[in-house]
A and B are shown apart, each in its own frame.
Chain A
């Protein structure tokens, strides 16, 4: 049986499969970014900033009923779309599933190879931070 995480990844891959052109993929990321619920300003603290991104990215995590819930925001819209995608795939899962997650959808939708190195590093930093939170809640 396909896990919840795998189902979500497959869904994202399917959504992106209709785009033939990178501009369309960006349009979609921009949409995702705009749809992402803005984070309260009070949470946009230095402590919640993810380092290694050219734009500012904030991430918070909550642990309740065995599940980790993430919220994220960025001052750049495309970046917000990307972190939104990660939140969509990884939020509301048990810590262990997040820690062990093999995020193959990133390669499948061409995100990793098509993002500039600075952004690519940003993506790596985002995933690292998400997993760090899960690790903290797992212990």
Chain B
């Protein structure tokens, strides 16, 4: 299919607006993405036509809502090519997915002398849950450092793995550096030492196709709102053999089989991990978002976003006052930089007044800032509804901001 960004932009109502008197340029897609009309319409459809609590309902509306929610599970399963829909657990987001694994696995498999390897470029969500376990004396967190380009060295991983290594927790794409990690090779190395791998795909799922069976990852997590879906819904993929062995994370309705004060038995997968009324409305919305992405095609999205990233990177490099942070050979959709003459916050504030939305600060990756000895970065992150012309506006805005601070 031919890729027409102007047609695509018509699917996103929020993009047609001015901010501070100028057309909105939304370059904060790594924080959250905008929603196509059909996702918004889907949520309205649920609330206006078949809102009812899911599962165990005998009435028609409940059945419709349940069917739609389980349809979404199948959509997610197909989207990442999981073997079974029992391997798809709905959560509140990637953060909850990681916490679920940390707690559940932690309870059963980790002890004081266990080691969990975590890369230096992880989002806090993939560091702190492991540190919480460490604080309880249930594991030790081992850092896998990256080099000054923002790349991980595979030979170092071999050296870090010991007999005590129980898990490797790693992002597919860095939300700050944009680095695409060679995840297949990483998983192969870990598996050759019988170490399972949790992949944080929060910044990858929306940019290129992912096949969990091909990757052979043990766990993979992502958030719905970063792939054009609603907030408050996320996914935990886990190999069935792992999920079956893991104890439930939270207790409550839906996750049980029978309850008595003499003892409780738990429901089958995936429900064992979905305590309480699930966020079925947004789960249904997420299914719609994935169908929308499928209709565009992730290969098309990847090709176009790579063009945007290359164009923006080349432009930034012509501004001598800026220094790019994260120069890995393979990057996805994220461009981070700093300026000597101004704090990232200063630049972001001026860009905002010019209608340009970027993120400034540490991006929940303080260890990356510590690595480079910087207070934060300005981060522009692109989506397939962004245009080359918007990068030109951004470039002019940056030049203007720098002139103000010099």
Contact = CB atoms under 8 A, between A and B. Distances in A.
Q: Do chains A and B stick together as partners?
A: yes
Contact of A55 (B20, B375, B405): B375
B399 interface: no
B346 interface: yes
A63 interface: no
Interface centre among A76, A77, A79 (most CB of B within 10 A): A76
A75 B324 CA distance: 20
A113 B171 CA distance: 37
Contacts of A74: 343
A79 B350 contact: no
Interface in B333-364: 342-343, 345-346, 349-350, 352-354, 360-361
Contact of B345 (A23, A27, A55): A55
A56 interface: yes
A27 B350 CA distance: 10
A36 to B, nearest CB: 14
A109 interface: no
A116 interface: yes
A77 B404 CA distance: 10
Interface residues of B, number: 16
A27 B376 CA distance: 23
Interface residues of A, number: 16
Interface in A85-123: 116, 119
Interface in A37-95: 54-56, 74-79
Contact of A78 (B346, B361, B376): B346
Interface in B1-44: 20
B20 A22 contact: yes
A77 B405 contact: yes
Q: Please indicate which of the listed interface residues B20, B346, B350, B353 has the most CB atoms of chain A within 10 Å of its own CB.
A: B346
A127 interface: no
Given A27-B404, A55-B375, A77 B353 contact: no
Contact of A54 (B342, B352, B360): B360
B343 A79 contact: yes
Contacts of B405: 30, 77
B398 to A, nearest CB: 14
Nearest to B400: A23
B342 A77 contact: yes
A121 B156 CA distance: 42
A26 interface: yes
A72 to B, nearest CB: 15
B350 A26 contact: yes
Given A26-B353, A30-B346, A77-B342, 18 more contacts: A23-B353, A26-B349, A30-B405, A54-B376, A55-B343, A55-B375, A56-B375, A74-B343, A75-B343, A76-B342, A76-B343, A76-B345, A76-B346, A77-B343, A78-B349, A79-B343, A79-B346, A119-B349
26 contacts: A22-B353, A23-B350, A23-B354, A26-B349, A26-B353, A26-B404, A27-B404, A30-B346, A30-B405, A54-B345, A54-B360, A54-B361, A54-B376, A55-B375, A75-B343, A76-B342, A76-B343, A76-B345, A76-B346, A77-B343, A77-B346, A78-B345, A78-B346, A78-B349, A79-B343, A79-B346
Interface of B: 20, 342-343, 345-346, 349-350, 352-354, 360-361, 375-376, 404-405
Interface of A: 22-23, 26-27, 30, 54-56, 74-79, 116, 119
Closest 6 CB pairs of A and B: A76-B343, A76-B345, A22-B353, A55-B345, A76-B346, A78-B346
